[in-house]
Amino acid sequence: MSLRRTWPSVAALAAAALVPVVVYLAGAGVMVHVPMPVHLVVVTAAGLLAGAAAVAMSVVGVRLNDGRAVLLGFAFSVMALLLVLHALATPGVLVGDNGLVQAAGALNIPIGGLILCASALPGLRRPLNARRLLRLQTATLTVMALVGVTALVVPGMIPAVPRPGTTVATAVFLLSAPMLALLAHRAARTFLLTRRRADALVAFGVVLLAGGEFGLLRYGMMDLGWWSAHALEVAGIGLVGVPAALDLRHATASRPLVGDLRAEHVVADEEAFLGGRVHALLARLADKDGSTEGHTRRVATLAVQIGEQLGLPAHRLRLLALGGLLHDMGKLTIPDEILNKPGKLTDAEFDVIKGHPAAGRELLTELGSFPPLVLDLVESHHERLDGRGYPNHAPAAQLEVEVRILTVADVYDALTADRVYREAWPMERALSILDEDTGTAFDGECVKALKAVVAPEQDAVSWRASLAAAAAEAATPRPRAPRTV
């Protein structure tokens, strides 16, 4: 992953990490005596919160056959059980001195974090894994509960490890910190793409969990830092668990935790923020040309995927998604008999078609509030590197990388989708056209990224063979480039 894409989330997480740092510095060296029943009540409440989130995730995950949602429930159920055992083992309340209180308190976040990290594994998208994971979850929790209850009855069964401040405790933290950092980075990157407040809360919550884990492994029960660690842990569980459970209302595993914010999600999020007037115009365009609505969403999604391949930062991907959704808005100005003509266009009709990019920019400018790059995407998506595009015959030096990406995505989708004037072309034939005009019309890096998205499974040998076959198929005289408007 490029530094350009990583540093914004790293900077945000570093700022969030100041909270636990300040908390521990403020309580350094302070000793407190808090009644142990308070520990029992507070930690039990945190365990019940995590347990409620776990039940919701697991139930919905099984209903949707979503292994990732079940795995999220697995992680929270393990943390919930360990928190409850940690609370029940509070010395001097229900039992005397024991090792379970330290072991359960120190290990619940690392074990939960490990399971959460596994939630992004591609294999868990397979529906059959959901019930299998649920059985594994049930068996694991049963064994853990039996061991925990036995340890409560026989207090000396589990040693008090890792003891705070020891080498073992430091090793546990160093092993768990990278997992928590990965989870926090996923959530922060998701927030940078979606700007959803809930995603930012998840990222902050993971940072608080990491801070809480540090305190639990560093301080003893008489230190203020130990109690501060519990406060950070409870807050972190709430900030992570509640948004994750609420995401399931939309039938999806938590985006920030599983790190699975796909291009279509970015496009959907941008579309959701469009104003009522823009939505009304898009609806009019869909009524005017039935193929355009699906085309704009596909182009926007494909453009974001190409942008990700090229390492564009989050804010540029959002603008690319918005430009893709709106790039054909100017077609509202084209007469229906030209736009939906099933046959070849006359030169005069094609001149009318070529006016839609400028008309689209003018329309969006009148609506207002659109960033300059979005307006450029709308106006320039039919420009070419050699300056022979339209409407402005702009040279390559004036075409931003986002414009070059959108041009490639637009042409590819236009060629591979059914139109009123022709049937869809096969992928190989469409890519052969792009290859023929790479360097003159299309940017080579953008075409390469497109291939990585739409044909990642083809190796170099099969790729050359498929292009040769496509070129032979397409070797017919063409008076002008394929119609892609």
> What are the pLDDT digits (tens) for 206-265?
999 999 999 999 999 999 999 999 999 999 998 988 887 776 655 455 556 655 555 666
With H, G, I as helix, E, B as strand and everything else as coil, classify residue 53.
Answer: helix
Amino acid making up residue 227: W
The pLDDT score that the predictor gives to residue 344 is: 84
Taking alpha carbons only, the member of 137, 85, 112, 140 closest to residue 236 is: 112
Integer Cα distance of 49 and 341 in angstroms:
60
pLDDT at 31: 93
Exposed/middle/buried for residue 335 (C-beta within 10 Å: 0-12, 13-18, 19+)? exposed
Distances in whole angstroms, Cα of residue 207 to Cα of each of 15, 230, 422: 10, 14, 54
What pTM was computed for the model? Answer: 0.64
CA dist 282 → 147, 292, 411 (Å): 60, 9, 20
pLDDT of residue 66: 73
Q: What is the pLDDT of residue 464?
A: 41
The low-confidence residues of the chain, meaning pLDDT below 70, are: 1-6, 120-129, 193-195, 247-266, 268-277, 419-422, 457-485
Rounded to whole angstroms, the Cα distance separating 26 from 28 reads 6
Domains of the chain: 3-261 (1.20.1070), 264-473 (1.10.3210.10)
Q: Is 423 exposed, middle or buried (0-12, 13-18, 19+ CB in 10 A)?
A: exposed
- Residue 477 confidence (pLDDT): 44
Residue 145 is predicted with a pLDDT of: 96
Q: Is the peptide bond before 335 cis (omega within 30 degrees of 0)?
A: no
How many residues are listed for the chain in this entry? 485
Give the pLDDT confidence score for residue 292 in this predicted structure.
Answer: 76
Continuous segment of H or E residues that includes residue 313: none
For residue 241 the two structure tokens come to 């668990």
2-60: pLDDT as tens digits: 455 567 778 888 889 999 999 999 999 999 988 999 999 989 988 988 898 888 888 88
